[in-house]
Amino acid sequence: MNSRKVILLVSTIILVFTTVYAVVNFRPSSAPISSITLGGEGPQIGKSAPNFELPLLESSKLGKNISLSSFKGTPLILNFFASWCSECAQELPLLSSFAKSNSSTIKVIGIDSGDSPTNASRLLAKDGAHFTVLSDEDESLISSSYSSRGLPYSVLISKNGTVLSTNLGSLNQNVLAQWKKEASVN
Amino acid sequence: MATFASSGVAVTLQPKILLKLKGYIALTKPRIIELLLITTVPTMFLAKDGIPSLELILITVLGGTLAAGGANAFNMVIDRDIDAKMERTKGRPLVTKVLRPVEATFFAVILEVAAFVVFWAFVNLLSGILAVSAMAFYVGVYTVWLKRRSTQNIVIGGAAGAVPVLIGWSAVTDKISLVSVLLAFIIFLWTPPHFWALAVKYKEDYRAANVPMLPTVKTNQRTANEILIYSILVVALSVALIPLSSLKWAYAGSAVLSGLGLIGYSLLFKIRPSSKNAMKLFGFSITYLTIIFLSIAVDVLIFHR
């Protein structure tokens, strides 16, 4: 072997080993997806709940809006859902019966998000929702002031408009009982 | 053996060497390579306007498989942390520790060098450069840069999956033509609907791994809107290819009919964005690409010999 070949061989070996070393030890950094998602930090517990105006689901075409501030004086549960979300459909009967039996102390407001109102109406008609449902067809809330990483997403608001708690994923008996207690003391 | 069984210890007597061998094969993601073959070989038919020699087909497929296998192995080394957090990928050899990262990386380097040598020695330099560039793009731009940062990760990363078509064309003609670039764009535009449909099912997996796949960070409805746009674009391009290439009705008919199918499944998912409809779309997207490329080969066989 002449010296050129030796240099070529040695540099190839060095290159290969450097590559392997670099790849094995390389750890890509990642932005946490919560910072890329949907935008905004979402409702902050202890702060006042961001106000919004949305149409009723049944009359979403008529353009008559209802604002959050109009419910002041009553504790609220905002429930963000969509007809395509199976977990949302599963929690619907529980939420509905909770709303019915606690109608004097706490108000449940469903917010159909990023969804066709027709599909949502069909889902609600099947199970019968005993609460007010608003339509947020272009998901303006869960993409900004009520930023959430998924559905269903629920927010507990006190009677004077403070965010008390949030829940990502299905609600259950325990959470609802806990929330009822929290709402009564705040 | 009886003593093992009676003591309740499950023993699989798989020799370590066999486990390792299986691990090395898994590193190349053999299923993805199937798709590579489906797109490359018909493109070679079209480039030749007939049937290329069997020898050239086999060598090109071999080179492409080595290059894509190497790229996939690099990907698994870099992504071994997130693969461990995902149900779908936690059986991969670097997660189960069947192979060490150093072994996998050496394997990847060897595959890439082999791919380049095979192309350069037996096909042409252009094909070799294309193959290694696609690997560099996939590993550098997709895996390292975009995958963990952007919801558009697979849109741009999809460019790597489109290169095998260019390789097929250059292997036959030693250059890249407009038609081959259009074919590559078909794969590029097809990738988002295909991959996002799958990612809808695994969105929680990606969330656990902190990977911002579009369905993980946006609602299904939003994902469905984006999918529909890309589906319409890919079908429009595949139809535009009819007057722009020498392809005749065997391709034209297949492109139009299967295109309607793809748009139909995308619409179904938009109307009802459930996981089930997403998987139907995912399944059909594979059928769609297969039909498009097989019909190119069939068209060439019928009309161009």
Tens of pLDDT, residue by residue over B33-53, are 788 889 999 999 999 999 999
- CATH 1.20.120.1780 domain range(s) in chain B: 177-305
Over residues B279-293, the pLDDT tens digits come to 999 999 999 999 999
Q: Which of A170, A166, A171, A184 is nearest to A50 (CA)?
A: A166
List the structure tokens of B210: 């902190």
- CATH 1.10.357.140 domain range(s) in chain B: 22-153+160-174
Residue B275: list chain A partners with CB under 8 A.
86
Residue A14 falls inside a structural domain: no
Residue A13 falls inside a structural domain: no
- The residue among A89 and B134 whose pLDDT is bigger is B134
Residues 6+ apart with CB under 8 A from B300: B42, B45, B46, B48, B49, B50, B247
Residue A55 bridge partners (DSSP): A65
DSSP string, B205-260: HHHHTT---HHHHS-HHHHHHHHHHHHHHHHHHHHHHHHHSS--HHHHHHHHHHHH
Confidence of residue B7 (pLDDT cuts 50, 70, 90): very low
What's the confidence (pLDDT) of residue B70? 96
Over residues B185-223, the pLDDT tens digits come to 999 999 999 999 999 999 888 877 888 899 887 878 889
Q: Which of B148, A178, B229, B123 is nearest to A166 (CA)?
A: A178
What's chain B's average pLDDT? 91
Residue B237 confidence (pLDDT) above 90: yes
Rounded to the nearest angstrom, the gap between the alpha carbon of residue A21 and the centroid of all alpha carbons in its chain is 42
What's the confidence (pLDDT) of residue B1? 37
Between positions 15 and 34 of B, the ones with CB within 8 A of A are: none
What's the confidence (pLDDT) of residue B72? 96
Residue A48 falls inside a structural domain: yes
CB contact (8 A) between residue B207 and residue A149: yes
Q: How far is residue B212's CA from residue B155's CA, in Å, rounded to a whole number?
A: 13
CATH superfamily of B22-153+160-174: UbiA prenyltransferase (1.10.357.140)
Torsion of CA B182, B184, B189, B192, to 10 degrees: 180
What percentage of residues in chain B have a pLDDT greater than 90? 79
Residue B9 confidence (pLDDT) above 70: no
**Any A CB within 8 A of B151 CB:** yes
**Any A CB within 8 A of B210 CB:** yes
What's the confidence (pLDDT) of residue A41? 59
Q: Which of A47, A84, A80, A50 is nearest to A68 (CA)?
A: A50
Q: How far is residue B151's CA from residue A37's CA, in Å, rounded to a whole number?
A: 9
DSSP state, residue A51: P
ipTM of the complex: 0.72
Over residues A43-64, the pLDDT tens digits come to 888 888 999 999 998 876 666 7
What's the confidence (pLDDT) of residue B2? 38
List the structure tokens of A55: 């149409």
CATH superfamily of B177-305: UbiA prenyltransferase (1.20.120.1780)
Nearest CA in chain A to B208: A33
What percentage of residues in chain B have a pLDDT greater than 70? 95
For A83-113, b where at least 16 C-beta lie within 10 A, e where not — what string? Answer: bbbeebbebbeebbebbeebeeebbbbbbbb
pLDDT tens per residue, chain A (186 residues)? 688 999 999 998 998 998 898 888 888 876 555 444 444 457 888 888 999 999 998 876 666 788 999 998 999 999 999 887 777 888 899 999 999 999 889 999 999 987 778 888 888 888 778 899 999 887 778 767 887 767 889 999 999 999 999 888 888 999 999 999 999 888
What's the confidence (pLDDT) of residue A125? 86
What's the confidence (pLDDT) of residue B288? 98
Helix (H, G, I), strand (E, B) or coil at A156: strand
**Any A CB within 8 A of B72 CB:** no
List the structure tokens of B273: 């964005």
What's the confidence (pLDDT) of residue A36? 47
Residue A66 bridge partners (DSSP): A54
Instruction: Closest CB to A33: pick one of B145, B207, B222.
Output: B207
DSSP string, A103-145: TTT-EEEEEEESS-HHHHHHHHHHH---SEEEEETT-TTTTTT
Confidence of residue B8 (pLDDT cuts 50, 70, 90): very low
**Any B CB within 8 A of A119 CB:** yes
Residue A22 falls inside a structural domain: no
Residue A4 falls inside a structural domain: no
Residue A66 falls inside a structural domain: yes
* Domains of chain A: total: 1
Nearest CA in chain A to B94: A24
What's at B148, amino acid-wise?
R
Residue A16: list chain B partners with CB under 8 A.
106, 109
How large is the average pLDDT for residues B52-64? Answer: 96
List the structure tokens of B197: 């449909």
CB contact (8 A) between residue A36 and residue B150: yes
What's the confidence (pLDDT) of residue B89? 93
How large is the average pLDDT for residues B117-121? Answer: 97
A89: closest CA of chain B, how far (Å): 12
Residue A121 falls inside a structural domain: yes
Instruction: Closest CB to A36: pick one of B106, B143, B217.
Output: B217
**Any A CB within 8 A of B207 CB:** yes
Max Cα–Cα distance, chain B, nearest Å: 72
**Any A CB within 8 A of B52 CB:** no
Q: A138: domain CATH number?
A: 3.40.30.10
Residue A146 domain boundaries: 43-185
B146: closest CA of chain A, how far (Å): 9
